[in-house]
Structure 1
Amino acid sequence: MNIAAHTFLFSVYPYICLAVFLMGSLARFDRDQYTWKSDSSQLLRAGQLRWGSNLFHIGILFLLFGHTVGLLTPHFIYEPFISAQHKQLLAIISGGTAGLICFAGLTLLLHRRIFDPRIRLTSHQTDLAILAILWVQLCLGLLTLPFSFADRADAHTMLRLADWAQRIVTFRPDASGLIAVEWPFKVHIVLGMTVFLLFPFSRLVHVWSGFASVAYLFRPYQLVRSRRLNVPAGHQQPRRKD
């Protein structure tokens, strides 16, 4: 990969993806709210969906949370509690377990979309495309595990990738120089950013609604008043004429 392409992919492309991700999601919510849904096919066949959906969501939520916290938490914050080497080993074990769970669920969902005739006929092309992209992304993520395990002695790769992510979110232009890692990491990063790029144009937008529903936990109770009339003592409530 030449220097110009490397600089574009790891210093410019992330901002393009994040801008489309945020502005595209807002535009779709404003203009096409009737398409803001998960397009569930549960009515067509629920058995395989139940296993696939549960495994996929458990795994993907853990991976999303783990990647966010692991990459964006500065080293000096967790250094007093856990070393970088132990943190990387923990990430390999927990991330690998969650990745396998997610992979099993996503494989079930993709198989169901492709090989069930009724579901395939009612599926949008974007549904199949986004599932296929996520499946490849999971394969790449699992492929990085042996490289991370081999690097566990000094956690060099993990520290580089975390520093790159933190420079991206803090708008420092020298981020691409840190991506001197093996090719599975590079492809995994680029495809992961591409998922954010495609996010507003797919069924993934329902993820926003899932996070927004957490706000219901902090809403005050709804007061429901009785429809009975408050009749003073000694007075008879008037009867309604039929």
Structure 2
Amino acid sequence: MNNFFFGIYPYIALSVMIFGSIARYERDPFTWKSSSSQLLRRKQLVLGSILFHVGVLTILVGHVAGLLTPVWIIDALGIGHAFKQVVAMTVGGIAGVMALIGGGMLFHRRWTDPRIRKTSSVADIGILGLLLLQLLLGVSTIFASARHLDGHEMLKFMHWAQGILTFRPDAAAQIADVALIFKLHIVCGLTIFLLFPFTRLVHMLSVPVRYFWRPGYQIVRSRRTTPLPSHSDAEIARAKVASAKAAPAGPRAPSLAE
């Protein structure tokens, strides 16, 4: 089971996430959205959304940098493994609590408001609940990590993640003896990757980079001090008739006699 969940399942989840997202964007581009419910109820949305998104983005950046940075680079920079783990626990713990509070507010809002719940799909509520479970598991790993402050356990996860990306057959063995809470956290995260293309999470990939090179717009305030003169309906009608007569005549349509 260890080899399946940590040696095979990661490739299944990542493959479905990548190719499923491409297929959805090509086949149903109009479903590629976050489906905001702000118009139905603004209360709890702003604060909850800010806490949730800032927390989750901080955790994602931390996980990517912490797991995928080669060990030799960390050693070359003179960063101790124990120090790196304490920083990860501190920053990750704060971001995790922020995301939990914000996600809890969003889940309560979506679950208890009749109008929002009516417009929410099973996937909307389910993926938010799964994200909250993942955050709870992640915060819980801090207590297990506190028993290994030398950074040795953290190295196991780095070797596992980098082994998965480099297709090493022994990657699953790197974390065979870690605590169960870490394994549950990894499996839940991989399941979120698996479900990613079928939920609103796809909006995370819609980074508006095109705004950097699109032509800009300039709004110019009029310096006119007096309002434009008003015109009656008759004057407007006469102007339209005169404009139509002045327009060049196009090709004449053939008559029935022709």
The TM-score normalised by the length of structure 1 is: 0.87
Q: Deviations over 1:161-199 (max 9, x none)?
A: 011000000111100101120000000000100000000
Give the secondary-structure state (helix, strand or coil) at the position aligned to 2:206: helix
**3-state DSSP class of the match of 1:47?**
coil
Change (3 A) 1:76 1:123: same
Q: Distance in 2 between matches of 1:56 and 1:222?
A: 32
TM-score normalised per structure 2: 0.82
Task: Confirm or deny that 1:89 pairs with 2:117.
Answer: no
Whichever residue aligns with residue 90 of structure 1, its letter is: V
2:11 to 15, 24, 28: 15
Task: Name 1:175's counterpart in structure 2.
Answer: 171
User: Which residue does 2:111 correspond to in 1?
Assistant: 114
Cα offset, 1:81, TM superposition: 3.0
For residues 109-141 of structure 1, the C-alpha deviation after alignment (integer angstroms, 9 at most, x for no partner) is 000111111111110000000000000000000
Give the root-mean-square deviation of aligned CA atoms. Answer: 1.6
**Structure of higher CA gyration radius:** 2
Q: Secondary structure at the match of 2:146?
A: helix
The residue number in structure 2 matching 1:125 is 122
**Identity, % of aligned pairs?**
50
Cα offsets for 1:137-161 (capped at 9, x unmatched): 0000010001112211x21111000
Residue matched to 1:159: 155
Query: What is the alpha-carbon distance in structure 1 between the residues aligned to residue 44 and residue 209 of structure 2?
Result: 27
Q: Given the alignment, which residue of 62, 69, 72 partners 1:73?
A: 69
CA distance in 2, matches of 1:143, 1:32: 38
Corresponding position: 1:40 with 2:36: yes
Gaps of 5+ in 1: 225-240
Range that drifts further, 71-80 or 26-35: 71-80
- Structure 2 residue 191 is the aligned partner of structure 1 residue 185: no
What is the alpha-carbon distance in structure 2 between the residues aligned to residue 6 and residue 64 of structure 1?
24
- Structure 2 counterpart SS, 1:81: coil
Residue equivalent to 1:208: 205
Q: Structure 2 stretches of 5 or more lacking a match?
A: 219-241, 244-258
Q: How many Å apart are 1:222 and its aligned residue?
A: 5.2
Pick closer, same or farther for the CA change 1:27–1:47 going to 2, 3 Å: same
Distance in 2 (CA, whole Å) between partners of 1:193 and 1:165 is 12
SS in 2 for 1:167: helix
* Structure 2 partner of 1:148: 145
Separation (CA, whole Å) in 1 of partners of 2:128 and 2:217: 43
The number of residue pairs the alignment matches comes to 219
